[in-house]
Amino acid sequence: MEHCQAPRRKTGPKPVFTLNEAVDAAIAQGIDRFTLTGVAKRLGVAAPSLYRVISSRDDLLMHCFLRATGELSLPDPGHSWQDQLREYTVAVWEMCGTYPGIAHSLLTFPGSHFAIQDYLDDLTEGLLRGGFPGGDDDMHFIVDLLGDNALVASMVTQSLRDGDGFELARQRLGSVRSEDRQHFPIREDLWDYNWLQRKTEFVIRGMELQLHG
């Protein structure tokens, strides 16, 4: 009995670009919004040519994750665990600023933390050296919470700063209440890194109290 083989996807002619250049093109288009057609157009090739260096859009997105997270600054392992967590939060925030759209993509792509497994090895080892008093579950909890806080804060801030975001937000909130009666009024000083810092300090203090009783 003969076995039927599935038709192979057409890959187009041999590409004149590299995987890194495809990643560059995706990042330039926006990590959270790039299309393979758009990437191919930036590279000046036909879309099928991309399949010589990637297998799918998700594959290219994963390479974008690796590029961005590969530049994450690692906290100084000689610092206290509290300061290392502060530095980690700054690193995530700065990564999001360097790669617009990555926050949304990381939060909505299942298993996106595959890209920081080695980073987490070094981070958790550093936290232990810095005197972190809890167990692995405690450490993973606070690293996850602070990382999520930074990603969400970046995503909200980016949406406000894109185009007329702040003005549109003010108009929408102002259409239902005067500013003196608004919860979370739209002011830039409430939606910048200082707001994230307050959350970071709150989380760290809460962990200190939980672990020390």
- CATH at 58: 1.10.10
* Same-domain check for residues 136 and 195: yes
Residue 7 lies in a domain: no
CA atoms of 195 and 193, how far apart (whole Å): 5
pLDDT, position 67: 98
Residues 136 and 200 in one domain: yes
> Is the residue at 111 inside a domain?
yes
| Angstrom distance (rounded) from CA 63 to CA 21 | 11
How confident is the model at residue 165, as a pLDDT? 83
What pLDDT does residue 1 have?
Answer: 47
Tell whether the torsion through CA atoms of 75, 94, 157 and 41 is positive or negative.
Answer: negative
Range of the domain at 37: 19-68
Do 157 and 52 belong to one domain?
A: no
CATH code of the domain covering residue 110: 1.10.357
How sure is the predictor about 113, in pLDDT bands with cuts at 50, 70 and 90?
very high
Q: Is residue 41 domain-shared with residue 140, that is, in the same domain?
A: no
Structure tokens that stand for 212 in this block = 């020390």
* Span 23-82, pLDDT tens digits: 999 999 999 999 999 999 999 999 999 999 999 999 999 999 999 999 999 999 999 999
* Count: domains in the chain: 2
| pLDDT of res. 12 | 55
- Give the span between the Cα atoms of 19 and 54, in whole angstroms: 8
